[in-house]
Amino acid sequence: MTSAAGAGADGDRHTAADAVGVAVLGACAAWSLLSAAVHGGRPEGVLLAVLAVTAGYATGRICGVLLPVAAPCAAALAGLTLTVALPRLAPGPETASPLGHAGATAAVLSLSAGAACCAAWATPVPLLRLALRLSACGAVVTGAALGSVAAVVTCAAVLLCSLAAGRMRHRGAALAGLALATAAVTGLTWAVAGDALPSGLGSSLVDQLTPRRVALWRDALHLARDNAGLGVGPGRFGELSTAAAQSALPDGKPHSAPLQLAAEQGVVGVLLLAAAYAWVLFALGRAPRPTPVVLTAGAALTAVAALSALGNALSFTTVSVGAGLLAGLATARPLADEPVSGPSAGSRRERDRPAV
C-alpha cells in the first residue's frame, strides 16, 4: 500500500514537471512568433530549437525507461564520435580559442561526459562503471586534442561534480548551486557587455574573449536597451549590428544566448530562457532517478548553459537535441529499480528523495 502511494506521489510530481515544461516551451515558441509578427523577424531558429529540445527530451524519457544504462552509453558514444568526425562544427574567427568552435564542440563533449557518468551511476557492475568514467575522461582528452580549452574545463567539471554527487544525500541544495553558477556566468557576460567591470579585470576578459565577440555583445546590449519590450525581432541582429557587419565571416548572431534573446525578443525572451533552464532543474529535482544521476545531468546541462551565455552553442541543433536527450534520460523512471552505490549510500529513501 505504501509502495503504491509512493508511486502515485512520484507520478504526480512527474506530471507537474511535464506540465510546466509544456507551458514554458510553448510560451517560448509563441513569444518568438509574436515578436516576429511585430517586427518582421524570422522565428524559424527559435522554433527549431524548441522542437529539438522537445524531441530530445521525449526520446530521452522513452529510452531512459527501457534502457537506463545502455541509452546514456549510446548517447555518450554518439557525442564523442560526432566531435571526432566533425571537430570544426562552425568555422570562422568567432570560434577561436579559448571558447572552442562557438562552444558547440565543448557543449557536445560536456553532454557526452555527463551521459557517460549518468550511465556509470546507473549500472551495478563495478567494472562497467569504471569503464564509463574512463570514457568521460576521454571527453576531456578529446577536448584537449581539438584545442578547446572550454571543453577541457567543462568536461573536467562535469566529471568532478559527478564524483562529488555520490556523497550528497539531498539534491535541492546542489541544484540551487548549479543555478547560481549559471546566473554568475550570465551576469559576468552582461557586465562585460556593459563595461561594468573594473578596468583591469575588464580588459583582461576582453582579451580572453576576443574584442570581436565583446563588440557583438555590446551591440546586442545596445539593441536590447532600445527595444526592451518586444526586441528587434528574431533573426534580425545581424541586420542591425555594426560589429556583425564588419566581421570577416558574419553569422548574424551575438554569440551569447541571453544577449541574443534580449536584443531580438526583449525582456520577456530573456525571462523565458531563464524559465526553460529553471524548468529543467525543477524536473531534475522531482525526478525518481538516484540523486547522483540527477546531479550529474544537472552539472552537464549547467555547463551547456554557461557555454551558451559565452557563445552560440544553442544555435546548433545537435546541442539542443543533446541537452533535451540528457534531461529526458535523467528524469525517466526505469522499469527496474536502480542500484544506490557510493561511499555514503545510506538508505535509498533518504538518498533519492526528490527536492520539494
pLDDT tens, position by position, 211-245: 888 999 999 999 999 888 889 999 888 888 887 77
Cell of 96: 577561436
Question: For the whole model, what pTM was predicted?
Answer: 0.89
Task: Yes or no: say if 312 and 255 are a contact pair by the CB < 8 Å rule.
Answer: yes
173-348-17 Cα angle (round to 5)? 55
pLDDT band for position 56 (50/70/90)?
very high
Cell of 238: 545581424
Question: Which of 48-52, 56-60, 94-98, 158-162 has the lowest average pLDDT?
Answer: 94-98
Residues in the chain: 356
pLDDT band for position 278 (50/70/90)?
very high
Q: Which residues touch 85 (CB under 8 Å, ≥6 apart)?
A: none
Region 7-21: mean pLDDT is: 72
pLDDT at 305: 96
Structural domain boundaries in the chain: 10-351
Q: Which carries the bigger pLDDT value, residue 85 or residue 165?
A: 165
99-104-107 Cα angle (round to 5)? 90
